[in-house]
Amino acid sequence: MNMHPSDMKLTNARRGADWWHGGVIYQIYPRSFQDSNGDGIGDLKGICQRLPYIQSLGVDAIWISPFFKSPMKDFGYDVSDYRDVDPMFGTLADFDAMLEEAHNLGIRVMIDLVMSHTSNQHPWFSESRKTRDNPKSDWYVWADPQLDGTPPNNWLSIFGGSAWQWDSRRLQYYLHNFLSSQPDLNFHNSEVQDALLDMARFWLDRGVDGFRLDTINFYFHDARLRSNPPLPPEARNASIAPMVNPYNHQDHLYSKNQPENLAFLERLRALTDEYEGRACLGEVGDAQRGLEIMAQYTEGESRMHMCYAFEFLESRPATTEVFKAVFDKLTTEAADAWPCWAFSNHDVKRHVSRWNLSAEAARLYPVLMMCLRGSACLYQGEELGLPEGDVAFEDLQDPYGIEFWPEFKGRDGCRTPLPWVTQAENAGFGDGKAWLPVDPAQAAMAVDRQEADPDAMLHHYRRLIALRQDHRALAQGDMTNMSVSGNVLSFERSIDAEWVFCAFNIGDTTAQVRTPDGDWNIASDSLGLMAPDGGALTLPGWGMTILKKAGG
């Protein structure tokens, strides 16, 4: 096993090499986390400055969204140099210092690798587009037009319109599943695979603890370029793209989710396994067969450690029936898969606003997440209970929102700067004009104000994360006996001799719950959990209980 010197400093890490298995991961969107130099953009030094705060949350790791060199057409998800830091975020030395300090504090660091595509300003693409016979001519997905000059097939871009862009140099189309400035790499070319794995090794050698792998199911395309079939209207949903986007009109059988991807994932896992305690978290972007793909991608010990699921990132309210349906399907299609659940991230409306949650509901849902089988991702500001930020059209930065405004306002509302100090300029985010405006409603919920209030959401998150960390059954155990009775969702978690019973009233009205046979005690005194009275208990609206079996 390869060991970087900074690995030795994970003295406060909760667990060893399997830290990811049930771990809690805190996502940082660096542009909006902490600005250290007054240019209005968050940076690596800002992250380093706030690491003690992250440590205080009790999470296992941070995932940092892309900070590589980029023209920032898609805010870093269009990489022009995989081996360097964009100057707006700092330098490689800043990254190394941040990584070392994180390890000193017992925090593992995962970085966001975007391997399905690059920027059109990447040197690889600049060479590839020159001619049809240069050494990198086949590193991207090029295709001749149809006889009438139209694109090779009907594939659509997630950002709207055709997924094909005409190039006047090669007189061919190139594939872009996202922006036209984000050409797709050709994974059918083994040299491309080797180059990307060599890039991953570069970061592993620097000491990173793993990768969040963007759009992992987009790596390969159908080599025959077959058109996608239509998707029936009743099967469409907005978990990947807003309903105003015709992307939802296709069943994406051929533009992604190709079987050849499995062999590459095994190569990536084999590389990761050369380094102790590393983990791969794959983002599966598919509205119709996400759990099925998750099962394939996490099967056995030779593929991804876990996959990022979209089931709770949708707009539909997360009712008891939704949770039950998701886990029933998971049991049927992906019983051995290891999911990583999230309610919010940098691509979707914050869940407090998306689900229109009351104060009581906003406290219940994260506790429920910490009790679900799988790992968990928290998005920066989620621990403050932040709602979606209000961004006027003239302040929009996201090309997605600009394209589909006003029916879809894009992703800027979940990317507004994190508020640290209520009364400070830009709520303590930084001294200069922020790249997105600070929402006054969010500023009123800043970290400093919540630190001073023991009942604030911030302390609630610390307590619920501690609950998970203190009970191995919640972090890594089996989940059994999930049932729904009206608005109450209940299930059991167990590992070895430890048994935990969980019940959540996802509704406003009082409900009665029967506990399983045995002697059960409240698992935590700090979360407002309801105590059993014999074999029964009463849950008020949005009430919950988590009970540990005596002797377990």
Per-residue pLDDT of the chain (552 residues; tens, 9 = 90+): 776 655 555 644 556 889 999 999 999 999 999 999 999 999 999 999 999 999 999 999 999 999 999 999 999 999 999 999 999 999 999 999 999 999 999 999 999 999 999 999 999 999 999 999 999 999 999 999 999 999 999 999 999 899 999 999 999 999 999 999 999 999 999 999 999 999 999 999 999 999 999 999 999 999 999 999 999 988 888 767 777 889 999 999 999 999 999 999 999 999 999 999 999 999 998 888 889 999 999 999 999 999 988 899 988 899 999 999 999 999 998 888 999 999 999 999 999 999 999 999 999 999 999 999 999 999 999 999 999 999 999 999 998 888 889 888 999 999 999 999 999 999 999 999 999 999 999 999 999 999 999 999 999 999 999 999 999 999 999 999 999 999 999 999 999 999 999 999 999 999 999 999 999 999 999 999 999 888 889 999 999 999 999 876
CB 279 within 8 Å of CB 316: no
The predicted structure's pLDDT at residue 5: 59
Q: Tokens 């303590």, residue?
A: 428
The count of residues in the chain is: 552
CB 275 within 8 Å of CB 251: no
Distances (CA, A) of 35 to 38, 253, 477: 6, 42, 39
DSSP state string for 235-268: G--SSSS-TTSGGGGB--SSSS--TTHHHHHHHH
The predicted structure's pLDDT at residue 239: 67
What is the distance between the alpha carbons of residues 328 and 291, in angstroms, rounded to a whole number?
11
Domains 5-117+190-386+399-468 and 478-549 share a fold: no
For 3, the 3-state DSSP assignment is coil
What is the distance between the alpha carbons of residues 55 and 419, in angstroms, rounded to a whole number?
18
Give the HSE-up count for residue 355: Cα atoms under 13 Å, Cβ half-sphere.
25
CB 550 within 8 Å of CB 518: yes
**Which is catalytic among the residues 144, 194, 205, 274?**
274
460's CB contacts (< 8 A; 6+ apart) are 363, 366, 527
Domain 5-117+190-386+399-468 fold = TIM Barrel (3.20.20)
Active site residue 112: no
Active site residue 214: yes
Q: Find the distance separating the first CA and the last CA of the chain, reported in whole Å.
A: 36
The predicted structure's pLDDT at residue 13: 53
Contacts of 128-133 with C-beta under 8 Å, sequence gap 24+, read 129/167, 129/169, 129/170, 129/174, 130/169, 131/169, 131/170, 132/170, 132/172
Quick one: DSSP state of residue 384? G
Q: Where are the domains of the chain?
A: 5-117+190-386+399-468, 478-549
Token couple for 92:
């490689």
Token couple for 44:
């690596």
What is the distance between the alpha carbons of residues 82 and 61, in angstroms, rounded to a whole number?
22
**Which is catalytic among the residues 101, 214, 383, 398?**
214
26's CB contacts (< 8 A; 6+ apart) are 54, 57, 59, 61, 62, 63, 377, 378, 380
For 306, the 3-state DSSP assignment is strand
- Which residue blocks in 408-504 are alpha helix, DSSP H? 440-443, 447-451, 457-470, 472-476
* Helix %, strand %, coil % of the chain (to 5): 30, 20, 50
Domain 478-549 has CATH 1.10.10.10: no
Q: Strand 210-213 and strand 108-113: pairing?
A: parallel
Widest pairwise Cα distance in the chain: 78
125's CB contacts (< 8 A; 6+ apart) are 118, 119, 139, 140, 183
What is the distance between the alpha carbons of residues 363 and 340, in angstroms, rounded to a whole number?
20
Closest Cα partner for 255 from 231, 280, 233?
231
Closest Cα partner for 128 from 74, 184, 64, 177?
184
The predicted structure's pLDDT at residue 242: 73
CB 268 within 8 Å of CB 427: no
The predicted structure's pLDDT at residue 3: 60
Distance of CA 17 to the CA centre of its chain: 21
- Helix (H) / strand (E) containing 177: none
Closest Cα partner for 378 from 40, 17, 4, 23?
23
